[in-house]
Amino acid sequence: MANADHSSGSDSPITDPLIIKWNLSLPGQPEVSGLSLEKTLDLHRLHTVFQNFQQALGVTIALIDLQGKVLASSNWQQACLHFHRQQPETLKGCLQSDTQLATQLLTEQKQAIYRCHNGLTDCAAPVRVNGRYLANIFIGQFFQEAPDLTYFRQQAKANQFDEDSYLAAIMQLPIIPADKIPPMLALISSMAEQISELSYNQFLSQQLLDQVEQQVKRRTLELQMQNQILSMISQGDPLHQVLQELVLQIEQQYPQLLCSILLLDQQSGVLRHGAAPSLPEAYNQAVDGLKPGPFAGSCGAAAYNGEMLIAEDLLTHPNWQQYQQLVALADVRSCWSIPIKTAHGRVLGTFGIYQRQVARPDAEFTQKMQAFSNLAELAISRSLLAEKIRRMAFYDELTGLANRRLLDERMQQALALSKRSNRYGALMFLDLNNFKPVNDLYGHKTGDLLLRAFAIRLQSLVRQTDTVARLGGDEFIVLLPELLAEFAQAREQAQQLAEKITEQLALPFTLTDQSNTCYQCTCSIGMVLFHGEQDFADEILRRADNAMYQAKQQSGQQLCWYSG
């Protein structure tokens, strides 16, 4: 029978070399259940019970799993520990007993009794936890009747044992009559089963409690994340900061994931980088501008179809065959993508999850992906709405040019810049000379087409730092900050641009309406220079307006400088 020395009373893991001999003697066993008794049982309690039984009955008791590992035991008998297992010939008898008992239990799974060649009796019974055969109770190293001391004297002589010490150890062994062995074995194995089941059920309860605590903890973190994201959205934080924070918090909760958000550009129809802090920058640049399509990876297909796409293995999925270099670049193996959509089904972008191994989301995480996508949709929709409101507040709805409010802001900026740099700025006030007949002859829709065409051409003629605004009707403003520092040179600079504008605006406009109208018009321009130290925005605008009316009153004169 397997041996380990617990005389010290320690309940630490057993490492006695004799256990190795037991393991070598036990036939190889497959994994039975995946249940680890060593982790689930109260081994200290079992050890105490076994010690108490040994004190009462004198027998050695051990619980051994099906892989041959001693989990708990009482002290071992001196005759076996210090004599039989120390000599090759007697050890052979011990190992034969071990093997016979183990084989008989595994085959029949009922009580087994065996008298070893050393003259001692060992017995064993299966231990079932919740009906599953998981271990064995061994009771051994006793006699069924009074020992024949002559036999053991001969054994001492044959194995060179010290006869007096060996016989003293033999006389310490208990005598258990044969008819007492089955009930004794049944009692001890039944108690071991009860303790094992109680321990195992307690383990399952604690495991369930731990799982619930983990779920509560994760849910609390998710709610905290959602509250923080919602707070950022309500405060009007920039969209890229909100999306970045969303992705970082998801990755913090799920460290094995790499997250990405792509935004659908409504004008160009391509996907743009939104947030992906854990993916290589080269990868983010490569997918920026991806055109949605049925085979455009995971995100491109999700945006195209408006449905989730799961690519559990990027090396074999058909949507990723043309992107294998990107797969290697990012060092990823799976990608799950879900479209970010409004309540009306309009696609705003995609939410992507990458992993470095082949993987597929379960139903629970698929729901979480939808929740993450909904948060991203809220942030994007709020940002688009804010941008729309901003455009309505600062831009002309018909032409897309700056309106009076934005013009006032740019005027103040231009004056402050002029004061710091000591350079001049200029303002042009433009008015179409013959716009009214367009409305009268062709209708207001055609008139609107002309105003939009006029605005596009005017915008294309100025510098990027200049501001083109529409005051209303057919009146436009061009603000030119940061001209030259000398008055004459700044005036000449503005004059050249004004002449270029009048020349280009006088070219015919082809209006793409039903009549395909070709219309030619001219404009009157009033101009004024300003300097930050001495001028005010309202006064500058009034002077340019006066100069424009002077230009209208002068026959054939389209440009007029304010003369005071």
The model's pLDDT over 203-261, given as tens digits with 9 standing for 90+, comes to 778 888 888 888 888 778 788 888 888 888 888 889 999 999 999 989 988 999 999 99
Query: Nearest CA to 528 among 484, 486, 478?
Result: 478
Share of the chain above pLDDT 90, in %: 44
- Kindly write down the DSSP assignment for every residue of 185-244, as one continuous string: HHHHHHHHHHHHHHHHHHHHHHHHHHHHHHHHHHHHHHHHHHHHHHHHHHTT--HHHHHH
| Region 262-267 average pLDDT | 92
pLDDT of residue 533: 67
**Cα–Cα distances in Å, from 65 out to 49, 81, 127, 354?**
18, 21, 9, 42
C-alpha–C-alpha distance, residues 251 and 220, integer Å: 16
Q: What is the DSSP letter of 262?
A: E
Query: Which position has the higher pLDDT, 197 or 426?
Result: 426
C-alpha–C-alpha distance, residues 490 and 65, integer Å: 97
550: Cα within 13 Å, side-chain hemisphere: 16
**Cα–Cα distances in Å, from 170 out to 9, 80, 95, 150, 184?**
23, 9, 19, 12, 21
C-alpha–C-alpha distance, residues 55 and 192, integer Å: 17
70-73 vs 112-115, strand pairing mode: unpaired
Share of the chain above pLDDT 70, in %: 90
Q: What confidence tens digit (pLDDT) does each residue in 462-474 have? A: 999 999 999 988 9
DSSP helix/strand/coil, 473: coil
Least trusted range by pLDDT, from 267-271, 367-371, 496-500, 553-557: 553-557
Q: What confidence tens digit (pLDDT) does each residue in 489-548 have? A: 999 999 999 999 999 988 888 876 555 677 888 889 999 999 876 678 899 999 999 999
Checking if the pLDDT of 475 tops 60, the result is yes
pLDDT of residue 329: 94
Question: Hunting for tokens 């309009």 — which residue is that?
Answer: 346
Work out the mean pLDDT of the chain and round it to a whole number: 85
Domains defined for the chain, CATH in brackets: 17-203 (3.30.450.30), 239-392 (3.30.450.40), 404-561 (3.30.70.270)
For 382-403, give the secondary structure using H, E and C.
HHHHHHHHHHHHHECCCCCCEC
pLDDT of residue 339: 95
Q: State the CB neighbour count (10 A cutoff) for residue 195.
A: 20
pLDDT of residue 192: 79
Burial class (CB in 10 A: 0-12, 13-18, 19+), 217: exposed
Q: Which helix (H) or strand (E) element contains residue 103? A: helix 88-108
Q: What confidence tens digit (pLDDT) does each residue in 6-32 have? A: 333 333 333 343 443 344 344 444 443
By residue count, the chain amounts to 564
- Cβ(200)–Cβ(40) under 8 Å? yes
pTM of the model: 0.55
Encoded tokens for 141: 């190293």
Q: What confidence tens digit (pLDDT) does each residue in 65-93 have? A: 877 788 888 888 888 888 888 888 888 87
Burial 361-398 (b: 16+ CB within 10 A, else e): beeebeebbeebbbbbbbbbbbbeeeeeeeeeebbbee
For 547-561, give the secondary structure using H, E and C.
HHHHHHHCCCCCEEE
